[in-house]
Amino acid sequence: MSEKRVGVLTGGGDAPGLNPAIKGLVYRGSELGLRVIGLFDGWRSLLNPLPDFLPLDRDTVQRWDRDGGTNLGSSRTNPSKFSADGKQVDRSNEVIENIARLKLDAVVVCGGEDTLGVAARLAEQGVRVVGIPKTIDKDLAGTDYTLGFDTALRNVTEVIERSRTPAGSHGWVQVIEVMGRHAGHLALWSGVAGQAHLILIPEHPFRYERIFRLLRDRLGDMDLARWLSRRSRYSVIVISEGAYAEDGQMVTIDDRQDAFGHARLGGVGEVLARRIMSETPYEARAVALGHPQRGGAPSPVDRIMGLIFGARAAEAAANGDFGKMVSARGIAPACELSLVDLSVVQGQINTVDVARYYDTERYHLKDLGMNL
């Protein structure tokens, strides 16, 4: 069996589950005659004249399954639209040259829509790539699961849970802004798990008047009688950073864009809290959870999904199944893996199926036969 050299890189936002995936790749790869080379900081590594790399063997990655983030580092580098001196240049050829210089037979690319979009374009040019899906947004087309979602769900649910005591003690509306640029999976399911009162997602623009009405229905006059009757005197609203009002637009931190043309979203929770305070009798507080919601050790599901995604990618590389992404139908332990064409990630994302899951009147999970 002749040995194959396979590079691995992680791009875009870090996510728990990436290190288990690398371990799965190295361990399964070692049984299949693959020598795995870690490439640092996403696509950026393959733009360096001398790419930074680290040979990965079983001893190196033995404990990586327990680590959050990515031990290979990450970046939002887009080789085909690289910004230099105020201009955008296509440096894809340098990536291709470096893959040859490092004598890599294939590259395993772990990423979301953007990083895998680069991989899909390189595959069209004949580069041998295998994709592993990752993003806490869970919005990649072609797979039910993307690494990081479950851990982020756990992290956000914990915060919703902990927000109850301050909100209840002070009698205010707690707005919790979570990640999710175009997809509300994280907001919807953490909101259900944490039993938030209202959940606002990018797939369905909200109306302020409707939110105020729903708050009044729940909180009423907030007088002594309510306190004594022990009825709800607080409310928790979970809102995706990408959610927006019917008559408004997405709220961004500034007007800069990353290499893939995305603005940094953030602030819609604060905007909502201010409107609640100025247009209702209720106090409101907002918190944007930001990057820590992607932090910490991977959950058991992210460890398992990472390990099996990595192992499946090793098999694809060994069998010469290039231009493919590992895809899951179902989530561990009831999970079936397959390979789908990488082009599936281009030009489409997987958003919340509003007709099936979202109650557009109650701003919550649609009643699926259970009384929440």
- How far apart are alpha carbons 165 and 151 in whole angstroms? 23
Confirm or reject binding of residue 34 to ligand F6P (CB under 6 A).
no
Residues 6 or more apart whose Cβ sits within 8 Å of residue 166: 172, 174, 285
Between 219 and 288, CB nearer to ligand F6P:
288
Q: Which of 173, 171, 176, 166 is nearest to 199 (CA)?
A: 176
Among 22, 61, 129, 136, binds ligand F6P (CB under 6 A): 136
- How far apart are alpha carbons 341 and 306 in whole angstroms? 19
Between 56 and 136, CB nearer to ligand F6P:
136
Stretch near ligand F6P under the rule CB under 6 A, chosen from 25-33, 132-140, 248-256, 296-304 = 132-140
Site for ligand F6P in 203-242 (CB under 6 A): 241
Confirm or reject binding of residue 202 to ligand F6P (CB under 6 A).
no
- How far apart are alpha carbons 11 and 306 in whole angstroms? 15
Stretch near ligand F6P under the rule CB under 6 A, chosen from 83-91, 175-183, 212-220, 321-329 = 175-183
Residue 341 among the catalytic residues:
no
Which pairing describes strands 34-39 and 4-10: parallel, antiparallel, or unpaired?
Answer: parallel
Stretch near ligand F6P under the rule CB under 6 A, chosen from 20-28, 56-64, 97-105, 173-181 = 173-181
Q: Which of 310, 351, 340 is nearest to 17 (CA)?
A: 310
Q: Considering 14, 41, 65, 137, which one is annotated as catalytic?
A: 137
Q: Which amino acid is at 372?
A: L
Between 105 and 114, CB nearer to ligand F6P:
114
Stretch near ligand F6P under the rule CB under 6 A, chosen from 89-97, 133-141, 194-202, 272-280 = 133-141
Tokens 């040259």 belong to: 97
- Smallest separation, CB 123 to ligand F6P (Å): 21
Among 7, 13, 17, 68, binds ligand F6P (CB under 6 A): 13
CA 198-202-204 angle, 5° bins:
70
Check if the beta carbon of residue 137 is closer than 8 Å to that of residue 180.
Answer: yes
Confirm or reject binding of residue 310 to ligand F6P (CB under 6 A).
no
- How far apart are alpha carbons 50 and 217 in whole angstroms? 63
Active-site residues, by number, are: 137
- Applying CB under 6 A, the residues found at the interface with ligand F6P are 13, 76, 112, 135-137, 179-181, 241, 264-265
